[in-house]
């Protein structure tokens, strides 16, 4: 079963949508990454890029998962 990279990185919750004026469902994290169990040990970080430029560019904020392949 694929694993959620935010959970693997023990990241704090951060919304990836909800910042646009037309957002009628509130802040939510719906943009995620998944990895296979074999790749799970390499996940070292997960975060949402929440900058003014990112907020203007889209109603979805970018999500970044960092891997350390030396952990495999």
Tens of pLDDT, residues 2-61: 999 999 999 999 999 998 888 788 899 999 999 999 999 999 999 999 999 999 999 999
* Residue 43, token pair as written in the block: 């996940």
* Residue 67, token pair as written in the block: 């891997």
Q: How far is CA 7 from CA 10, 11, 14, 55, 57, in A?
A: 5, 6, 12, 24, 27
What values do phi and psi take at 26, rounded to 5?
80, 180
Instruction: Provide the whole-model pTM.
Output: 0.88
Across the strands, what pairs with 4? 34
Closest CA to 5 of 32, 27, 31, 28: 32
In this predicted structure, the answer to whether residue 70 has a pLDDT above a threshold of 90 is yes
């Amino acid at each position: 079963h694929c694993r959620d990279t935010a959970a693997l990185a023990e990241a704090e919750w951060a919304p990836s949508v909800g910042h646009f004026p037309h957002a009628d469902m509130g802040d939510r994290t719906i943009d995620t990454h998944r990895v296979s169990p074999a790749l799970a040990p390499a996940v070292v970080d997960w975060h949402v890029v929440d900058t003014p430029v990112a907020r203007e560019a889209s109603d979805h904020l970018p999500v970044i998962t960092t891997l350390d392949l030396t952990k495999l």
